[in-house]
Amino acid sequence: MERDFEEIFQDKIDQEIKIEPKDWMPEKYRQTLIRQISQHAHSEIVGMLPEGNWITRAPNLRRKAILIAKVQDEAGHGLYLYSAAETLGITRDEMYAQLHSGKAKYSSIFNYPTLSWADIGAIGWLVDGAAIMNQVPLCRSSFGPYARAMVRVCKEESFHQRQGFEILLTLGKGTEAQKRMAQDAINRWWWPSIMMFGPTDDESPNTIQSMKWKIKRFTNDELRQKFVDVCAEQIKILGLTIPDKDLKWNESTGHYDFGKINWDEFWQVVQGNGPCNKQRLETRKKAWEEGAWVREAASAYAEKRKQKQVVTAA
C-alpha cells in the first residue's frame, strides 16, 4: 500500500504537480522540508541582526528608511516561511525551541559581524545575491506552500540585492576612506558568501534524494559556479576586487575558475565557532525570553475578551 502511495507521489513530482499539505508524502520528504524550510525561516530572523546592527547608524535618512524596510522584509519572509513549515505539522513555537536549543541551524553567514557601513552593501550584494541564486529555483519546489512563499521572497530579495550593490557603487566612487571600507567589506564577505551554497557535491549526501523529489533543482556546485560567474563580472562595475588570486576566466569551461574554499572554516562556523554564533543565538533567546510576559499578557487578554463575548451573547 505504502509503495503505491509512494509511486503516485513520485509520479506527481515527475509531472511537476505540486504536493500540497494534505497530500500523502513520504515521512522523509516531510522531515526534509521541515528541516529546510525552518532553517530558511530561522536564517531570515537571525539575518535581521547583523543588518539591524546598522539601522541606528545608517548614514542618511534615505539609507535609514531603506534599511529598516529591508530588515522588516526579512521578518516578513520569516513569517511566510514559518507558516509554510506549519502546514507540515510543526508549530512556530516548536521551531523556535529548536533554534534556541541549537538543534535547528540557520545560515552560517549570519555568524559574521557587520563592522562598517560597507558591510550593509556587501551583505546586500553578496549574501542576498547568493540567497537569490539558491532561492529562485525554490520557486519551483515540489512542495506548493514553499514554492509560493519563495515567489514572494525572491521578488523582495532582488530589490535587496540591488540596494546592496548601489551602496557599494556609491562607496566605490567615494572618498579613499569609503573605497577602503568597501574593499574591506568585500574581502571579509566574499569567501563566507560562496560557502553559502553548502559543501561540494561529493560532500553533500542529501542532494541526490532532494533532487529526485524536486526540493532542489541544482547542485551546490552548480549554483556556486553561477554565482561566481555573475560576481566576477559585477565587480568590474564596482571598481573593486574579489579577494581571490585564482579567480580567472576559463575559455574552455566557459566559467570563471576560483580558488580553494577553506572548508575547515566553514565547518567550524557551522559547529558554533564563528565570530558571532554565541552572540546571535543569545540575542534571539533574549528577545524570546524577555517577550514571554508580553505573549502571556496577550493570550490572557484574548481569553478574557472571549469570556466577555460569551457572557454578552448569552
Chain positions contacting another protein, by CB under 8 A: 45, 48-49, 52, 55-65, 68-69, 71-72, 75-76, 78-79, 82, 92, 117, 167, 170-171, 173-175, 177-178, 283, 286-288, 290-298, 300-301, 304
**How far apart are alpha carbons 155 and 139 in whole angstroms?**
11
| Beta carbon of residue 303, minimum distance to another protein (angstroms, whole number) | 10
C-alpha 152/C-alpha 18 separation (Å) is 17
Rounded to whole angstroms, what are the CA distances from 33 to 48, 121, 123, 256, 312?
Answer: 23, 31, 26, 32, 45
Work out the end-to-end distance of the chain between its first and last CA atoms, rounded to an integer number of angstroms: 51
**Minimum distance between the CB of residue 91 and another protein, rounded to whole angstroms?**
13
Q: Answer whether 21's CB lies under 8 Å from 145's CB.
A: yes
Q: Which is nearer to another protein, 133 or 169 (CB)?
A: 169
Cβ neighbours for 168, distance < 8 A, ≥ 6 positions apart: 118, 121, 122, 125, 182, 185, 186, 238, 240
CB of 51 to another protein, least distance (A): 8
30-43: buried (b, 16+ CB within 10 Å) or exposed (e) per residue? bebbbebbbbbbbb
User: Is-contact 214 13, C-beta < 8 A?
Assistant: yes
The nearer residue to another protein, 47 or 198, going by C-beta atoms, is 47
User: Is 208 or 302 the residue whose CB approaches another protein more closely?
Assistant: 302
Give me the least distance between CB of 100 and another protein, in Å please: 14
**Between residues 9 and 82, which has the closer beta carbon with respect to another protein?**
82
Pair 171, 118: CB distance under 8 Å: yes
**Quick one: 178 or 187, whose CB is closer to another protein?**
178
Burial of 100 (0-12, 13-18, 19+ CB in 10 A): middle
Measured from the CB atom, is 163 or 210 closer to another protein? 163
Least Cα distance to 18 among 146, 137, 136, 135 occurs for: 146
Residue 140 or 304 having the CB closest to another protein = 304
Q: Contact at 8 Å (CB) between 235 and 249?
A: no
